[in-house]
A and B are shown apart, each in its own frame.
Chain A
Amino acid sequence: MINRNLQPLKKPWINSSTKDKIIHGFFFFNGLISVFVLVGIFALLVYTSIPAFKEINLTSFLTGTNWNPTSYVKEEYGIVPMLVSTFMVTIGALCIAIPLGIGTAAYLSDVAGNRTREIAKPVVEILAGIPSVVIGFLGIILVGPFLAKIFGTSNGLNALNGSVLLAVMALPTIISISEDALNSVPKNYDQASLALGASKWQTVYKVKIPAALSGIIAACMLGMGRAIGETMTVLMATGCAPAMPESFLGPVRTLTSSIAIELGEVAYNTTHYYALFALGLVLFIITFFINMVSDIILHRFEKVNR
């Protein structure tokens, strides 16, 4: 039998403008999540840090030079030595990693043959996958004794050791992003430069690196972020003595290692517990600040380049 009343084409489940709205909403929601997570973490840190300052004087927290919350005699909460340590190790790491990283990136993008690049690039990326515990272990058994021998110190648990290890950890980030930046410089830039009689070295140094500078700076900033937040490696390799650091050849104790050492055993909801969250807040503010500065720099260079 033939069905006489043929039905019109099935109406779509929803019409296309609603579909658009739903998809728009979905992506908008995804975008919001990361903002919410960030704001949430910040709010949580602030909220859990505030009780610490019922008992700790904010000035002594920010300017004190002794951190000893489990003291036998008198509890003290001063973060200056940890701030100094964190910056020493990070800046040391950057001093090593930036020249090496940019050099490697320039080599990979402009000098190395295809074959070499195809082998070297994955190797650099694998470097990023090495767990920080392993790097810390290498620091104890390899880098530390080596530095001790070179500098004639009695041991290698010092800021320099931490810097070297963090440099190794920051290198993959710096190399891959710098290399991408160098590769995205239009080909006619170096062709023009070479045509004008510049050598390959002059081309890389005077044309390509300046043209890719914004990307390279972003790479260094990301590397810095990696170094500043790293915990396990510095915890294992830098001695962790809480005293004010005296030199790169002395022990240091960073903000991250203090949190890691003490959070495991601290009694919940005590001043010490809240103080550790305050340390986390300080760390958060530092990284936030670094990211903001790098963003500003990036935009400035973009404008100049245009």
Chain B
Amino acid sequence: MKSIIRIILITGLLSANIYGARGMLQIKGSDTLINLVQRLSEVYMEENPGDYIAVTGGGSGTGVAALINKKCDVANASRLMKPKEVAQAVERKVDVRRVVIAIDGLSVIVNPNNPITKLTVDQIGRIFRGEVKNWKELGGNDVAITLYGRQSNSGTFVFFRDAILKNDYSQKMNRMNGNAQIVEAIKRDKSGIGYVGVGYVKVAKGLTVLKVASREGGEYADPLNANDVKSGKYPISRPLNQYVNGSPKGKVKKFLQFELSAKGQKIIEAEGFFPISEDYITFNKKAGL
């Protein structure tokens, strides 16, 4: 932890010295979004020399907390703000606006040695609540299930719990530090199951991305298939959000417009996520974009 703080401080100091803190756009939050927004900002900075953007992670909760404490300009969030956070923002006179920049087909992954290739939402819920303890019960091998999830500051942690489990995670679930760590763990662990943003599985090899049906007897859909996610057939898709303070203007607006432009959306697809639908385009227009 100490080292991390040190690194952050040093980078902070350096960047402040080189660029002048005022001109720098600070983006903070979701670990699911970090690579994507990083890539977007790189292309943006190439096109707009003189504009500087710093993208850091820490989890959706961390990003939203930073926005409320006025420590960043844009908060990446892979979940919606919690009522508690909205109340806090009001208290601190932060007028939060939500913009949807991409769609994620949240992917459930297992090791390729696991014969299971598809599950229903209900089965996934039972696994992560700790009710199903052995792969045998689902028609797999006779090995105990090892759960891999995120830590509580992760938006993915909250989204998956609220949308799929509708209850607490098993206390035995390993709490990993980021999407990439879950991917690495599943590659190694024959008994493992985990969940990550689709952007993290599109390029990764050595994983089975499970097909998921919303109910028993329903049709199984694949998060890697753009049509399944866009049409809503894949049951665990979600919008990836950015929150800003007040109606976006100036540099914030310029960058958000870039993200939502045809070029920005193309980068989003290249990174493994999906472009936003008409509904969200209208939604963003209401936020002033």
In the docked arrangement, what's the CA distance between A73 and B171, Å? Answer: 13
> Which residues of the other chain, A, contact B191 by a CB distance below 8 angstroms?
154-155
Among residues of A, the one whose C-beta sits closest to the C-beta of B189 is A155
Name A's interface SS: loop
Contact B172 A264, beta carbon cutoff 8 Å: no
* Interface locus among A88-96, A100-108, A239-247, A298-306: A239-247
Shortest Cβ distance from A301 into chain B, in angstroms?
Answer: 32
Residue interface mask B121-151, A partner, CB < 8 A = 1: 0000000000000000000000110110001
Contact A260 B1 (CB under 8 A): yes
Q: Are A243 and B153 in contact (CB under 8 A)?
A: no
CB interface residues, A 137-163, toward B, < 8 Å: 140-141, 145, 148, 154-155, 157
Q: Does B219 contact A (CB under 8 A)?
A: no
* CB nearest to B6 among chain A residues: A131
Tell me the smallest distance from the CB of B63 to a CB of chain A, in Å.
9
Interface 9-mer from A2-10, A64-72, A194-202: A64-72
Task: Please tell me if B54 contacts chain A, counting CB pairs below 8 Å.
Answer: no
Contact in complex: B3, A72 (CB < 8 Å): no
Stretch at the interface among B177-185, B201-209, B261-269: B177-185
Interface bin, chain B: 35 or more
Q: Please give, as numbers and ranges, the residues of chain A lying within 8 Å of B176 by CB-CB distance.
A: 240
Instruction: Say yes or no: B152 contacts A232, CB within 8 Å.
Output: no
- Would you call A132 an interface residue if the criterion is a C-beta within 8 Å of the partner chain's C-beta atoms? yes
Neighbour of B161 across the interface among A72, A141, A232, CB < 8 A: A72
How distant is A279 from chain B, measured CB to nearest CB, in Å? 14
CA distance A130 to B61 in the complex (A): 30
Q: Is B173 an interface residue (CB 8 A)?
A: yes
Which of B162-170, B228-236, B281-289 lies at the interface with chain A? B162-170
- Across the interface, B62 reaches (CB within 8 A) one of A154, A244, A251, A264, namely A264
Shortest distance from the beta carbon of B144 to any chain A beta carbon, whole Å: 8
B88 with A267: CB separation less than 8 A: yes
Find the residue from B65, B143, B165 having the highest chain A CB count within 10 A.
B65
Q: Are B3 and A70 in contact (CB under 8 A)?
A: no
For chain B, residues 70 to 118, give those with C-beta under 8 angstroms from any C-beta of chain A: 84-85, 88
The answer to whether residues A243 and B172 also contact, given A264-B58, A264-B61 and a CB cut-off of 8 A, is: yes
Task: Taking A140-B181, A265-B61, A265-B65 as given, write out 14 further A-B residue pairs in contact, using a Cβ cutoff of 8 Å, ordered by the A residue number.
Answer: A72-B166, A73-B168, A145-B188, A154-B143, A154-B190, A154-B192, A157-B185, A241-B173, A243-B172, A261-B151, A261-B152, A264-B58, A264-B61, A265-B59
CB-defined A-B contacts under 8 Å, sample of 26:
A66-B171, A68-B168, A70-B152, A72-B161, A73-B167, A133-B3, A154-B143, A154-B146, A154-B192, A155-B174, A155-B185, A155-B191, A157-B185, A232-B4, A241-B147, A241-B172, A241-B173, A241-B174, A243-B170, A243-B171, A244-B171, A253-B175, A261-B151, A261-B153, A264-B62, A267-B84
